[in-house]
């Protein structure tokens, strides 16, 4: 599905009408769950026409978080196909004829069984392949939880609030798509890019690995001006990291952790948030997931 923008004459000396960077680009995606749909949604905001091919059982994200699913697929063409069925496979091949890029999130062996690499090669498509692991472990199963577990970004027994590897992997998939499309346009190597979620989790853990967020680190309680403090009715997050903020915090609220704990506990969180705005200090009430 190519998106054609009507050409109009421009007044002499004026700039042409701005275009979305991926206007005229068609993306077909087989990716379900999180990283793929997140990446496809981002490509759509950049102007790509996205055709989302779902298996007969649908995308698990739709059952787990229907509102988020609807947000991510807004404006996309949804097609339900069983790629093992000859008739549906023929429909899929027709979709590839008008595609510029294919986005997948399968284990490598599954892609081979479906004949995807050959279909991509025959049509010269750009291809972004989201996988869990690479190299000798490419067939290992995994999800965000196990990638985080492997790289030390969990605090058992609590479950993570944010799927770090999935989110970072999605952003990498967007960058990979742009690189693959550019390589395809220029006829150079690099039109196939593999995004590895385990590598994304490894990079996300660097702050802890290098001591910034490990216990007692500068961003983990080691600095009085950077932390979470109880208030009279909840908590506030204080991020007075730069010297100018640290000095302002010390002058108006407290300098040591003990001073800050006493002062913050004396008033409700909304009071401190308002004071932060008045003093130009990064102080924000800690809200519950969902904004409450």
Beta strand ranges found along the chain (DSSP E): 26-29, 49-54, 77-80, 101-104, 126-131, 192-196, 226-230, 235-239, 283-285
pLDDT at 220: 93
Within a domain: 86 = yes
Helices (H) and strands (E) counted in the chain, each on its own, are: 13, 9
As a whole number of Å, the CA-based R_g of the chain is 24
Residues 162 and 125 reside in one and the same domain: yes
Can you give the residue range of the structural domain that contains 277? 226-285
The tokens for 272 are: 């401190």
SS3 130: strand
pLDDT tens digits in sequence order for the chain, 292 residues long: 333 333 334 445 444 445 799 999 999 999 999 999 999 999 999 999 999 999 999 999 999 999 999 999 999 999 999 999 999 999 999 999 999 999 999 999 999 999 999 999 999 999 999 999 999 999 999 999 999 999 999 999 999 999 999 999 999 999 999 999 999 999 888 899 999 999 999 999 999 999 999 888 999 999 999 999 999 999 999 999 999 999 999 999 999 999 999 999 999 999 999 999 999 999 999 998 876 6
Within a domain: 3 = no
Return the CATH number at 254.
3.30.1540.10
Residues 88 and 233 reside in one and the same domain: no
Residues 96 and 158 reside in one and the same domain: yes
pLDDT at 9: 44
Q: Taking the CB of residue 286, how many other CB atoms lie within 10 A of it? A: 13
Residues 60 and 198 reside in one and the same domain: yes
Residues 103 and 157 reside in one and the same domain: yes
Sign of the Cα torsion 110, 115, 119, 121 reads positive
Domain endpoint, select from 149, 172, 207: 207
Backbone angles phi, psi at 101, to 5 degrees: -140, 140
Beta strand ranges found along 106-225 (DSSP E): 126-131, 192-196
Structural contact between residues 27 and 177, judged by C-beta atoms closer than 8 angstroms:
yes
pLDDT at 62: 97
Within a domain: 21 = no
Sign of the Cα torsion 223, 225, 226, 228 reads positive
Residues 62 and 94 reside in one and the same domain: yes
Instruction: Say which DSSP state 136 is in.
Output: G
Structural contact between residues 201 and 141, judged by C-beta atoms closer than 8 angstroms:
no
- CA angle at residue 212 from 211 to 218, to 5 degrees? 115
Q: For the chain, what is the domain count?
A: 2
pLDDT at 139: 96
Instruction: Say which DSSP state 59 is in.
Output: -
Return the CATH number at 172.
3.40.50.10540
Within a domain: 142 = yes
Residue 111 burial (C-beta neighbours within 10 Å; 0-12, 13-18, 19+): buried
Within a domain: 9 = no
Within a domain: 12 = no
pLDDT at 19: 75
Its pTM stands at: 0.87
pLDDT at 236: 98
The tokens for 141 are: 């199963």
Residues 81 and 200 reside in one and the same domain: yes
Residues 152 and 189 reside in one and the same domain: yes
Residues 161 and 249 reside in one and the same domain: no
Residues 134 and 175 reside in one and the same domain: yes
pLDDT at 234: 96
pLDDT at 10: 43
Scored b (16 or more CB within 10 A) or e, 150-189 reads: bbebeeeeeeeeebbbbbbbbebbbebbbebbebbeeeee
The tokens for 49 are: 């026409």
Residues 194 and 280 reside in one and the same domain: no
Within a domain: 257 = yes
- Integer Cα distance of 44 and 40 in angstroms: 6
Residue 217 burial (C-beta neighbours within 10 Å; 0-12, 13-18, 19+): middle
Within a domain: 82 = yes
Residues 243 and 168 reside in one and the same domain: no
């Amino acid at each position: 599905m190519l998106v054609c923008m009507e050409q109009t004459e421009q007044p002499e000396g004026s700039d042409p009408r701005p275009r979305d960077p991926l206007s005229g680009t068609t993306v077909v995606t087989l990716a379900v769950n999180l990283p793929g749909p997140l990446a496809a949604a981002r490509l759509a905001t950049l102007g790509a026409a996205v055709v989302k091919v779902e298996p007969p059982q649908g995308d698990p994200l739709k059952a787990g978080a229907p509102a988020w699913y609807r947000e991510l697929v807004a404006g996309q063409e949804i097609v339900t196909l069983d790629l093992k069925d000859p008739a549906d496979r023929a429909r899929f091949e027709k979709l590839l004829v008008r595609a510029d890029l294919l986005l997948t999130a399968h284990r490598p062996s599954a892609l081979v069984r479906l004949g995807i690499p050959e279909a991509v090669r025959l049509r010269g498509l750009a291809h972004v392949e989201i996988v869990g692991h690479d190299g000798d472990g490419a067939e290992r199963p995994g999800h965000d939880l196990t990638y985080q577990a492997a790289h030390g970004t969990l605090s058992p027994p609590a479950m993570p609030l944010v799927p770090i590897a999935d989110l970072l992997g999605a952003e990498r998939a967007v960058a990979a798509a742009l690189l693959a499309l550019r390589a395809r346009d220029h006829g150079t190597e690099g039109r196939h890019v593999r995004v590895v979620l385990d590598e994304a989790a490894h990079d996300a853990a660097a702050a802890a690995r290098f001591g910034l967020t490990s216990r007692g680190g500068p961003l983990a309680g080691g600095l009085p001006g950077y932390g979470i403090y109880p208030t009279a009715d909840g908590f506030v997050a204080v991020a007075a990291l730069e010297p100018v903020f640290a000095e302002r915090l010390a002058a108006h609220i407290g300098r040591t952790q003990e001073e800050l704990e006493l002062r913050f506990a004396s008033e409700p969180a909304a009071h401190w948030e308002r004071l932060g705005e008045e003093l130009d200090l990064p102080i924000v009430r800690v809200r519950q997931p969902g904004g409450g």
